[in-house]
Structure 1
Amino acid sequence: MNHRTRPRATRVAATAAILGLGVIGAQSATGATQADEPTSTPVPISTPDGQVSSYVVNTKVANPGQVRKAEQAVESAGGVVVQSWPQIGVIIAHSTDAQFRIAVVAAGRNSIESAGPTRSVAVSEGTPAGAQAPWGPGKGQLKPSAAKPGDISAGTTEVAGDPLEGQQWDMQMINVPQAHEITTGSPDVTVGVLDSGIDPDHPDLVNQIDRSQSVGCTDAGRPAQGEAAWAPTTSDHGTHVAGTIGAERNDVGIVGVAPGVRMASVKVVNDDGFIYPEYAVCGFMEAGLKGMDVTNNSYYVDPFEFWCGDQPEQAPAMEAVRRAVDWSTEQGTVHAAAAGNSAYDLSDKTTNASSPNDAAEPTDRVINSTCKDMPTELDGVVTVSSIDRQGKLSTFSNRGLDSIDVAAPGSSILSTIVRGDGWGTKSGTSMASPHVAGVLALMKSAHPTWTPETMIDEIRSQATDTSCADVSRGAPCVGTAAENSYYGEGIVDALAAVR
């Protein structure tokens, strides 16, 4: 067993600017390029007159007075306030003015730090009712685009309704049955599943969802209650993730890592398959406001696979998401996130050809160390790589020395699906991360006074050391058995987390 810990600050490639931000007072998500790095390639985002475009506006200080001044600046610049988060000094705004992002900073020069677009296209859902849009309904609508895949090989073959626990090799690998002899988790612990929604009728999940805590965030980033807001519509990704975390022990189907805890469906994926910054900010803020103990994040924030802090149009959204993650962590929420499925070295960023993924054509661009996969590369987030049944890094999994925290099973994982209220297999780091979220939930159940920082230190130090020997996935495994670019500090261990 590896009993070392490392400061999360080592994950930051360059010293980040310190902001004087009232209750925020934390490091910026952007940072600076290293001396020998090129500037990343600009990706201009067009916001033409007449198109409803979405923006994030960050205040200089996070307090209600400054936020109100910034809201007035939004309105005077021809925008509409969709949602304000005064706790972190973030406003989500819509506008049909091509010059809004410039005009709002000028109008709020004493209160606004930055403003930038959140998408490269029009707002497909329109401006929510009650936001007082001056341009009337029906504008800025977007034809649905192809959904961004959230996992690899998302097969949904149904399995007979007999108990399937014996087929869950993944649970055996990380010592879940042994952990369950100590605890299956406490109903006082809640895991927020930030995803595409959880099937409210699935027999393995129907009793596991805390409906009072569940929320939808895909109406332009404004939180909405009720099953219609948080149930799945076009994707069963969140349902599969939820089954791994907390499927009920009920003599039906499978058993989750932490079947004794509660889960909240926090819907951050829209019907087109996108997770925009305003959705993610809403999800993290709601997790903190509702006192969720753990969140799982099996996605990257669209439309950029890597958001670059040295680009003025991308840095504001990065900062807004960072503030939301930091604030929810301060409220006691610990976060697990998928490392990504591009077989990419997160510690050596050079190029990217997949972003923005909501545009007609992505840009082939140079990237650098200021460019982050959000939320997985933000401080205070447990970054999870994927391994297969043989314990080797999955061929699709991202990697990186000092970028991966722990590894977990993610190839051909059996879990719950929507179709037929059945069970099926999916593969991806999306499937690895919920194993870690479930282990964190067991850990919180066994150690209710532990803070997010303590839990992150412990899940790393308790992980099973795994050597690089004889493992090659297109790039060398760098490091030692105690910590390397494939497994981070090792394979997560549920039993160690609870004893």
Structure 2
Amino acid sequence: MIGAVALTAALTGAYVGTTASVSSVAAAADLGAYLVITEPGNTQAAKDAVAKDGVVAYSYDKIGVIVARSADSGFAAKIKAVDGVQQVGKSRTAATAGLRGVAPKPKPPKPMLEQPQSITGASAETVEWDMKAIHADQAWAKTTGSADVVTGILDTGIDDTHEDLSANFDASKSVSCAGGVPNTTPGIWRPDSSEHGTHVAGTVAAAKNGKGVIGVAPGTKVAAVKVSEGTGSFFYAENVVCGFVWAADHKFKVTNNSYYVDPWLYLCSDDPDQKAIAEAVRRAAEYAHDGGVVNVAAAGNASTDLAAATRSDSSSPNDSTATSRPNLPKSCLSVPTELPDVVTVSSTTSTGAKSSFSNFGLNVVDVAAPGSNIKSTLPGNQYGSLSGTSMASPHVAGVVALLASTHPGASPDELVKLLYTQATDWSCSKGGGSTCTGPDANNGYFGEGLTDALKAVS
């Protein structure tokens, strides 16, 4: 999982054409990035007001989220006073490339920005330990999944030219959401520098082609939804909003979300900026869910009990100067993983224990999957091993893709129920720690249990 602590054309659906091109937004001096929240479907008055003191970069009318830019320091107060506007908040705390032409402060080294180990080139295909642990190798004997099922990889981009991904890559449904504006220029979805998204994609659907590795659902498709920006891989809220809406409007069955929304590790409702960020992403994720998408997310890599009464953060905001935020209440959420209707995934080792880095929490973690030393695809026809809940989450996304293949008429809620029912109960005693609470069938380390690909196709 990456974030601060780890690593004018009108469109259909919820998208509405921009009132300013990307280039014109980038050229304006000293622009701040804002989210303007209104009642869904009632955005016009707010857009008119924004246009007087800034620009509407994009508007997601169906969910009432406007992506705005302004150089006016009083912009938020002015727009908040407009009839029908419910919230206004800044989505970032520092200038970024495309706003003032100045890159944000690089993120510090962190366990959520996993570094590959043992990088190799093309090789004969092997069945890795993680696929055996969730019985994916046995599932493939029954089915490798349906090509009609598409998983959206909301991440740093995908190298779609990779020998193990190209056959299963859907370019027609791929996009870059940088700046909160969908861009389908061919190849724009490829990574700037991070291998993260390519690695995640391989775990979901690397082809069963005699080369390299095999994904959980090698007969299904993946699409790149690039929601990060620049070499710092910042996952800003407007980008994530774009990604979730895109997923629904393009009929994805699953999204994988191995990140948290920058620049705040936890979003607190007593801060107007953080409140607006959380609400915008919540609406977008809900829109995706209601549109038929199962959203799967990494639990995070801070070894934190997300069920505890308090949590602390010393890494935010990660795009400027971080401050210490001790003893935050549990209501300050990690987004998207703690949003409603999001499947939260913890990480396990090859021995079945909870990975030491994995977040946990009773009634927060929903299901577990392998996430330590996971070999998968890297850009440039390479392969390498990464560790993190970022690596656990796509195993579950792949199992959901298999479930969607074998249950083509099932709703997101029905697919999630099957996912939980079919998971193998994994007791606290297997966890390797003393902080696990709850019974075998649903506990703080493993949730409903270890995900099982074979049961998904049986």
TM-score relative to the length of structure 2: 0.91
Please give the alpha-carbon distance, in whole angstroms, between the structure 2 residues aligned to 1:432 and 1:190.
19
Question: Which whole-Å deviations, capped at 9, do the CAs of 1:367-419 have from their partners, x for residues lacking one?
Answer: 1122111101101110000000000000000000000000000000000011x
Q: How is 1:400-411 mapped onto 2 (pairs within 5 angstroms)?
A: 400-411=361-372
**Aligned counterparts of 1:367 and 1:51: Cα–Cα separation in 2:** 32
Report the counterpart of residue 7 of structure 1 in structure 2.
none
Matched, 1:122 2:101: no
1-structure distance, mates of 2:357, 2:146: 34
CA distance in 1 between counterparts of 2:356 and 2:57 reads 41
Pick from 75, 78, 84 the counterpart of residue 59 of structure 2.
84
How far 1:350 moved relative to its partner?
A: 3.0
Find the residue that maps to 1:87 and give its secondary structure. helix
Identity of aligned residues (%): 43
- Unaligned runs of at least 5 residues, structure 2: 1-13, 15-27
Distance 1:385 1:392, change over 3 A: same
SS for the counterpart of 2:398 is: helix
1:457 matched to 2:417: yes
1:329 paired residue number: 289
Question: For 1:191, which of 133, 137, 151 is the aligned residue?
Answer: 151
* Residue in structure 2 matched with residue 33 of structure 1 by the alignment: none
User: Whole-Å Cα distance in 2 between the matches of residues 158 and 164 of structure 1?
Assistant: 15
1:181 deviates by 1.6
Deviation string, structure 1 residues 2-55 (Cα, Å, up to 9, x no partner) = xxxxxxxxxxxxxxxxxxxxxx9xxxxxxxxxxxxxxxxxxxxxxxx9631100
* 1:153-172 per-position Cα deviation (integer Å, ceiling 9, x unaligned): 52242335332423x10000
| Residue 161 in structure 1 maps to residue 136 in structure 2 | no
Q: State the distance in 1 between where 2:72 and 2:29 align.
A: 7
- Tell me the amino acid that sits aligned with residue 463 of structure 1: A
Equivalent residue letter for 1:407: A
1:229-240 aligned within 5 A: 229-240=188-199
3-state SS in 2 of match to 1:416: strand
Contact 2:96 2:104 in 1 (8 A): no
> Could you report, residue by residue, the CA deviation over 1:300-326 in whole angstroms, capped at 9, with x for unpaired residues?
000011111232221111100000000
- Does the residue aligned with 1:243 lie in a helix, a strand or coil? helix
**Which residue of structure 1 lines up, in the alignment, with residue 24 of structure 2?**
none
The 5 Å alignment of 1:387-398 reads 387-398=348-359
Q: Which of 201, 210, 228 is residue 251 of structure 1 equivalent to?
A: 210
Q: Is the 8 A contact 2:107 2:318 kept in 1?
A: no
Correspondent of 2:69 among 89, 94, 97? 94
SS at 2:168 equivalent:
coil
Greater displacement, 190-199 / 311-320: 311-320
Paired residues of 1:332 and 1:451 also in contact (CA < 8 A): yes
Task: Report 1:404-419 matches (<5 A).
Answer: 404-418=365-379
Matched, 1:73 2:32: no
Structure 1 unaligned regions, length at least 5: 1-23, 25-48, 127-139
- 1:65-100 Cα offsets, whole Å, 9 max, x none, are x21111012123x12100000110100000111111
Q: Does 1:493 align with 2:445?
A: no
Letter in 1 for 2:407: H
CA distance in 1 between partners of 2:116 and 2:61 (Å) = 42
Cα distance, 1:94–1:343 mapped onto 2, change above 3 Å:
same
Compute the RMSD of aligned alpha carbons: 1.7
**2:95–2:103 Cα contact (<8 Å) kept:** no
Letter in 2 for 1:98: S
C-alpha change, 1:125 and 1:363, in structure 2 (3 Å) is farther
Distance 1:251 1:482 in 2: 37
Corresponding residue number in structure 1 for 2:86? 113
Q: CA deviation at 1:144?
A: 4.7
Q: 2:40 aligns with which of 62, 79, 82?
A: 62
Q: Go from structure 1 to structure 2 and tell me whether the alpha carbon gap of 1:229 and 1:165 turns closer, same or farther (over 3 Å shift).
A: same
Check conservation: 2:268, 2:274, Cα contact below 8 A.
yes
Among 293, 315, 330, the alignment partner of 2:253 is: 293
Q: Where in structure 2 are the equivalents of 1:137-216 lying within 5 Å?
A: 140-147=100-107, 149=110, 151=112, 153-159=114-120, 161-166=122-127, 168-216=128-176
Q: CA–CA distance in 2 between the matches of 1:471 and 1:263?
A: 32
Tell me by how many angstroms 1:457 deviates. 1.4
* TM alignment of 1:351-430, pairs within 5 A: 351-418=312-379, 420-430=380-390
TM-score, normalised to structure 1, is: 0.83
For 1:111, the aligned partner's letter is G
Question: What's the secondary structure of 2:172's corresponding residue?
Answer: coil
